[in-house]
Amino acid sequence: MTSAETRIKSVVRNCIEKSDGSVQPFLGLEDMASGTGRLLVEDIPMKAADDSLRHYGGDVLFSKLRPYLAKSYAPAVAGTGTGELLVLRPGGEIDSRFLLYVTLSSPWLDWASATSYGSKMPRTSWELMSQYRVWLPPLEEQRRIADFLDAETSRVDRMISLSTRTLGLLAERRDIERSQILRGEGLGGSTATHPVLGDVLASWPILPLKRLLPRIGVGVVVDPSKYFCDVGVPFLRGSNVVGGGFDLTDVRKISEENSRELWRSRLAEGDVVVVRAGDPGRAAVVTAELDGANCASILVLKRGQRIRPKYLESYFNSSLGRAYVDMVRYGAAQEQINVSHVVNFMMPEPSLAEQDIILGQLAEADGPTESLERSLRRMILLLAERRQSLITAAVTGQLDVTTASGRNLTQGV
């Protein structure tokens, strides 16, 4: 037999079988990893949902919502899943494991993205995906390809897992080093034990933030979305604040006029903003670029004369600040902290000269670790690209798996 291309609909069916509402294993999109064909959970949660779709062992599930996230999975047993999944049931001419890898390949994902509609929550459909042309070698070769990819992607995944664990260990080590520096261990002198902060230089006053800063407030909380507009100044939300900086990829805007009226939440260079809800406690110093911006539902710590902004940011992003955040955070669905909590957070007050020394020590300690972290993140990115390249080459006939190891397919790994 020779290999040929065929439309996917000629060898695969999209099955829509509604659940009977009984309690069964239920797969949500949040349970599925991107780009790996694996799950993020060890035990699939049980749920009763009338609107869920049934699937069986041998099916392949693919998320039609935001398909660029590449969420696919081949269940071993029957269960149910969200209606945002396409339940693809292979016919006799296509192997289910081969089909899984097809749904993880670049051409499939490109087709899914190209056929998506909707800007905020793009989704494709079986009607559109069914026109995709798949390379279809004989079944025996499909199984060899799947065996090859099982082995090679497992090897890549082990390397990614090791690199990810190493990143975690580096983060732990850096956190310990930063906490020691913030407690004054590099300055010498006797220490006193604080019940929350640990051993801190005895010469430092430990005061509540309300005594160290001129004002602590919060951004717009009541219906901030009514101020969203296309032209104006940045309107920061918690998702824009990352530890020690900002991600402005999806930043909203507020008109200059509305921002001036909402003066209490208007930001100035040197202020420190702290995430209030979701993952509370992350902090960043407002940069010159964001001077005059406004904010929604994040805490605003106004710049004062006694505390360097970067020192305050470092305090919140260390175990010292997190200790207080962990003591007061509340909420099951979405954890949060409030101004009434933060004003009473206790913080050491070194002299300004000592704060400058501490900031220098932090920068010196962070340098080597950040370099290692950048290298590891680049390695993880290259490994993920290698995985994608292997899958794409194998399921499109560009790679002869009977002779290839796949180990030189992607340069730089």
Is a pLDDT exceeding 80 seen at residue 258?
yes
**Least confident range of 29-38, 270-279, 326-335, 378-387:** 326-335
Residue 43 CB coordination number (10 Å):
7
Q: Return the pLDDT at 410.
A: 43
Average pLDDT, the chain: 93
pLDDT in tens, 6-41: 999 999 999 999 998 889 999 999 999 999 999 999
Q: Which CATH class is domain 192-349?
A: alpha beta
Residue 49 CB coordination number (10 Å):
18
CB 290 within 8 A of CB 271: no
Give the closest residue to 40 by CA, choosing from 73, 62, 63: 73
Q: Return the pLDDT at 413.
A: 43
pLDDT in tens, 192-216: 999 999 999 999 999 999 999 999 9
Domain locations in the chain?
5-136, 137-187+351-404, 192-349
CB proximity list for 218: less than 8 A, separation 6 or greater: 265, 276, 297, 298, 299, 300, 338, 339
**Least confident range of 203-207, 208-212, 332-336, 360-364:** 332-336
CA–CA distance, 208 with 77 (Å, rounded to integer): 56
* Cα Dmax for the chain: 83
Helix H or strand E segment including 164:
helix 139-182
Query: Is 5-136 assigned to CATH 3.30.110.40?
Result: no
Q: Return the pLDDT at 406.
A: 46
Is a pLDDT exceeding 50 seen at residue 256?
yes
β-pair partners for 106: none
CB proximity list for 238: less than 8 A, separation 6 or greater: 275, 276, 277, 278, 279, 282, 297, 298
Is a pLDDT exceeding 90 seen at residue 2?
no
Q: Return the pLDDT at 404.
A: 60
pLDDT in tens, 88-142: 999 999 999 999 999 999 999 999 999 999 988 999 999 999 999 999 999 999 9
- 334 token code pair: 């979405």
Whether 5-136 and 192-349 share one fold: the answer is yes
In the chain, the percentage of residues whose pLDDT exceeds 90 is 89
Q: Is the pTM of this model over 0.95?
A: no
How would residue 409 be classed by pLDDT, with cut points 50, 70 and 90? Answer: very low
Is a pLDDT exceeding 80 seen at residue 239?
yes
Q: If you average pLDDT over residues 260-287, what whole number do you get?
A: 96
